[in-house]
Chain A
Amino acid sequence: MEEARATALSAVEAREIDAALAHAERPAAAYLDALKILQQHRRWVSDEALAALAAHLGVAPERLESLATFYNLIFRRPVGRHVILLCDSVTCWMLGEEKLRDHLRAQLGIGFGETTADGRFTLLPVPCLGACDHAPAAWIDGDLHTDLTETKLERILEAYA
């Protein structure tokens, strides 16, 4: 988690953020992209990272905080190496989301908003993933997994070391 606490932006981060700014019609249109770039490199956006980004963009940290706290997929608290986003919307709930959640609690010892002690997994709820015809569904590190059962999910998680 060290990199998340680094105060300055890395050269790579700064370059990617500047590219997003150059592409945007107005600078503010790229603020969310800038937060996403930081998170891609650091997994989550710490207070220090947010302050560094604010200084880079020449805006108050609160301006970025207003975005970071609004959008669901910007993480303002540490997350594990892999983030399991389990759909908890209506069709997935009907077709076994709670069972999957119970299973993850038993297998990994974590519930929503928690990270395993070894820092491997964080479990978070996510609204409807648009895969309702293949419910229940989860989204892990950008991969969509569907038609989940307890055993299928357990097997899928093995691939995320």
Chain B
Amino acid sequence: MRSDRPLTGAMRPDGQPLGLAAYEAAGGYAALRQALTEMRPADLIERVKASGLRGRGGAGFPTGMKWSFVPPGDAARRPVYLLVNADELEPGTFKDRYLIEGNPHLLLEGVILAAYAIQADIAYIFIRRAYQRGAAILARAIEEARDAGLLGERILGSAYGLRLHLHASAGRYMCGEETALTNALEGQRATPRTKPPFPPVVGLWGRPTIVNNVETLCNVPGIVRHGAPWFHNLSPSPDGGTKLFGVSGRVKRPGLWELPMGIPIREVLETHAGGMRDGVRFRGLLPGGASTDFLVAEHLDVKLDFASVQAAGSRLGTGTMIVLDDQTCPVGMVHNLIRFFAQESCGWCTPCRDGLPWCEAILAALEAGDGREEEIAILEDHCRLLGPGHTFCALAPGAVEPLQSALKHFRDDFTRHVREKRCPWRS
């Protein structure tokens, strides 16, 4: 099926997971059969490189390039690992859950293809504890795949074999960071590791390891089967492909849609999410989860692709937008976000461990009517001091993105809290 919605097109309308037979009837596992019979691992990496596919977990790193960092053939210390990041815990993000619950075999086919490309021996799907339904659906799909000879030794009669494990975590945002996820799988606290060495060379138990996001891997079967030009033609943007875009907040129809990469924000917000609820005005949005900068009304025509959102001063992130409306206090919203990041900081490095709680305390004071003007400057200092280059991983730099942009776009709301000695949104 050459769907223009390769990620969601085959899903059942009733929300139940697509089983193996139905997935195969819709063209599923054709890419895997093709790859195992006609393609060398290096061909597969080249095809994914040519597609330009970039990671859908938030950072946007080119997938094929990442795969190519694994030392080839005998140069790699065995076993080689593929880790699937299904630890979706970025506030406002609900796309990977939808893919896992709706079409688990699409993910599994992507996993096996990626594993074949990097010649992995073992793969883990690292799923967050709260996704219990998703974990049960995946466990069932893995069993189906094993029974059908799609996993285990000699997949589909080829020389290639892969063991796949499902690991349910016990909840911590840090697990989404790839080296912290690796530590979590080893039975350690999920703190980040020093880079270099980078995971493709030294990862899980010191072996070459690739970590890919769920949505990223779901893109792989289509690319392998239909080729890079097909992927490019799915979208008017240089990124190519489709993306799951979501909207939550006070809009008429919150939800998730698979749309061409590069679709303007306005179209997602108005055509798909139905615009703002009656009596509510739009004030801004976080375009890709909690750790992205606010965009405002002047940005509504920005195209949702990596370069365009970055040029507008934010990041595409996870592509799931959180809408700020005029009935919500921007300071309160940022306080909620910073409280989350302060709580989820792993405590490994000082700026993050101590800086985020400081910001949280200042924002709490502003909300309580005890804020002082000079503390707004302290918040600004933190945006710089917790920014890129000052911390061990990307948690704190991500955390200050909504804060720094709120201070820019909603400055008057911050000073109003100081002047009126209260939160104007609370009676």
Contacts and interface: CB of A to CB of B under 8 A. Distances in A.
Interface residues of B, number: 51
Interface in B134-190: 165, 168-173, 184-190
A52 B186 CA distance: 22
A130 B248 contact: no
A133 B130 contact: no
B93 interface: yes
B228 interface: no
A144 B133 contact: yes
B81 to A, nearest CB: 10
Contact of A73 (B129, B131, B185): B129
Contact of A28 (B187, B247, B250, B322): B187
Interface string A88-100: 1111011100000
Nearest to B129: A73
B94 A89 contact: no
Interface in B220-270: 246-250, 254-256
27 contacts: A23-B165, A26-B205, A28-B188, A36-B170, A66-B188, A67-B188, A71-B172, A71-B190, A90-B333, A91-B92, A91-B248, A91-B249, A91-B322, A93-B332, A94-B250, A95-B250, A126-B130, A129-B130, A130-B94, A130-B131, A131-B94, A132-B94, A132-B254, A133-B94, A133-B247, A135-B248, A144-B133
Nearest to B174: A70
Interface stretch (B27-35, B63-71, B336-344, B378-386): B336-344
A8 B346 CA distance: 32
B93 A130 contact: yes
Residue from A32, A89, A126 with most neighbouring chain B CB atoms (10 Å): A89
A56 interface: no
B250 A72 contact: no
Interface in A107-161: 126-135, 139, 142, 144
Nearest to A39: B170
Interface of B: 88-94, 96-97, 122, 129-133, 165, 168-173, 184-190, 205, 246-250, 254-256, 290, 320, 322, 325, 328, 332-333, 336-337, 340, 343-344, 346
Contacts of A126: 130, 171
Residue from A32, A35, A132 with most neighbouring chain B CB atoms (10 Å): A132
Given A29-B185, A95-B249, 18 more contacts: A23-B165, A26-B187, A26-B205, A28-B186, A31-B187, A35-B170, A74-B170, A90-B91, A90-B337, A91-B249, A127-B89, A127-B343, A128-B90, A128-B93, A130-B89, A130-B130, A130-B131, A144-B130
Chain A's interface size range is 35 or more
A5 to B, nearest CB: 22
A127 B91 contact: yes
Given A71-B171, A71-B172, A91-B91, A132 B248 contact: yes
